[in-house]
Homo-oligomer: A and B are copies of this chain.
Amino acid sequence: MERITATYYVETPFNPESAASILAGEQSSGTFVAVPGETEELKHRFAARVELVERLETVREPAIPGAVSVSENYHRAMIRVSWSVENFGYNLPVLISTVQGNLYELRQFTGLKLLDIELPPSFASQYAGPAFGIAGCRQLTGVQDRPLIGTIVKPSIGLSPQQTADLVKTLAEAGIDFVKDDELLGSSANSPFADRVDAVMDVINRHADKTGKKIMYAFNISGEVDDMLHRYEKIVSRGGTCAMISLNSVGISATKKICDQRELAIHGHRNGWGMLTRHPLLGIAFPAYQKLWRLAGVDQIHVNGIQNKFWESDDSVVQSIEACLTPLFGGYSILPVVSSGQWGGQAPETYRRTRTTDLLYMAGGGILAHPMGPAAGVTALQQAWKAAVDGLSVQEAASVYPEFAKSVEKFGGN
């Protein structure tokens, strides 16, 4: 019978082998009260199994509080636990409750982070996955052989639909591929959702008629299930190509319901993610997280960026991009969304470390605040990526490309 395997980084005052067994017991049929008719065969069939315990460092202070008792030594370890697919069938919420449920409550652990999940091949026949993925998003935007260049409407909240549309017009004329709502904006007092779609799609459709290039705009549909479905239909009816969902705020069941419509690319925003991952010994790591959303059908997911303005390290960002680009069941392709403090200067390092242009590369000020105007801002980003692929450094690129050189002057100060 196929099994699902989860890998954890843990810390425990016990010996790691015992702690792993407690976890496996708690998360399957471990706590037995004698029940008539219960057999060893049934226990064996449904019990979680400890597959590996690899001891790592020992520390003197617990990473998080709540230990069963004070100890002088807290042992860290990598552990792997597996469950039969028979336990859940194909049910993402029950899978989540199993691999990241009550185990964080166990006082036998003073640290527990879910690092990765391995899913058996039968999942590929149960989950359709992203309707568009990388190839589909390229086709919708007509962008090949370089990252999609995108930006976010700012200020996040406060603009009217017409002001938003005016900004999109400026960006369209500048040659942008992708624009998105901020996650703080759903339907606000002065930007009702339907009005915003109408105003923005008027601009996008007119631009597409004129130039043949259709900009992808990710309208933030995050909300209740029925509202999201209505807003989704509104986007479809106006010829839009993308909807954005705040994954952690909406949740996986409703997100999958939206993805299942399969008419729009789904832009997955991971706001709230820091809460789930920022502590090194608590929560979830991105390789596990992104797999669940790929199964749900999300086409694009945020990964932060090299030299970002948030807390995340470059190594972590690179690992996230690699996780997205690793095929799942030979496909289930998801486009990594690089953002946060990006202006093009990070392109050479991003490419050097990931060797990919399969990215949606988002820049804010780097476009709109470019000294030569937004069109030069978009051009500078395209130049930065061409230079990156050609193996040029930031300085070399600046000597070749005048628009990028201006970006370096303005944004390259730190």
Q: Report which A residues bind B (CB closer than 8 A).
A: 27-33, 35-38, 42-43, 45-46, 64-67, 84, 86-89, 91-94, 96-98, 100-107, 154-160, 163, 166-167, 183-190, 220, 222-228, 246, 248-257, 269, 271-276, 278-280, 282-284, 304, 309-313, 340, 364-365, 368-369
A174: shortest Cβ distance to chain B, in Å? 14
Decide if A272 touches B96 in the complex (CB within 8 Å): yes
Decide if A159 touches B65 in the complex (CB within 8 Å): no
Task: For A38, list chain B residues within 8 Å (CB).
Answer: 155, 158-159, 163
Q: Select one of B86, B154, B269, B282 contacting A33, CB under 8 A.
A: B154
Decide if B312 touches A97 in the complex (CB within 8 Å): no
Contact of A106 with B311 at beta-carbon distance under 8 Å, contacts A33-B154, A97-B272 already known:
yes
Question: Complex formed: what's the CA distance from A78 to B190 in Å?
Answer: 32
A64: shortest Cβ distance to chain B, in Å? 5
Question: Complex formed: what's the CA distance from A220 to B97 in Å?
Answer: 12
The residue in chain B whose Cβ has the minimal distance to the Cβ of A283 is B275
The residue in chain B whose Cβ has the minimal distance to the Cβ of A368 is B33
A199: shortest Cβ distance to chain B, in Å? 13
Contact of A89 with B189 at beta-carbon distance under 8 Å, contacts A101-B183, A253-B250 already known:
yes
Q: Select one of B84, B248, B275 contacting A282, CB under 8 A.
A: B275
Question: Complex formed: what's the CA distance from A262 to B166 in Å?
Answer: 44
Task: For A42, list chain B residues within 8 Å (CB).
Answer: 158, 190
Question: Complex formed: what's the CA distance from A226 to B91 in Å?
Answer: 12
A304: shortest Cβ distance to chain B, in Å? 8
Decide if A311 touches B107 in the complex (CB within 8 Å): yes
Decide if B66 touches A278 in the complex (CB within 8 Å): yes
Question: Complex formed: what's the CA distance from A86 to B190 in Å?
Answer: 8
Decide if A89 touches B33 in the complex (CB within 8 Å): no
Q: Select one of B166, B282, B340 contacting A36, CB under 8 A.
A: B166
Q: Select one of B96, B186, B225 contacting A89, CB under 8 A.
A: B186
Task: For A279, list chain B residues within 8 Å (CB).
Answer: 64-65, 279, 282
A276: shortest Cβ distance to chain B, in Å? 7
Contact of A156 with B31 at beta-carbon distance under 8 Å, contacts A87-B184, A228-B253, A282-B282 already known:
yes
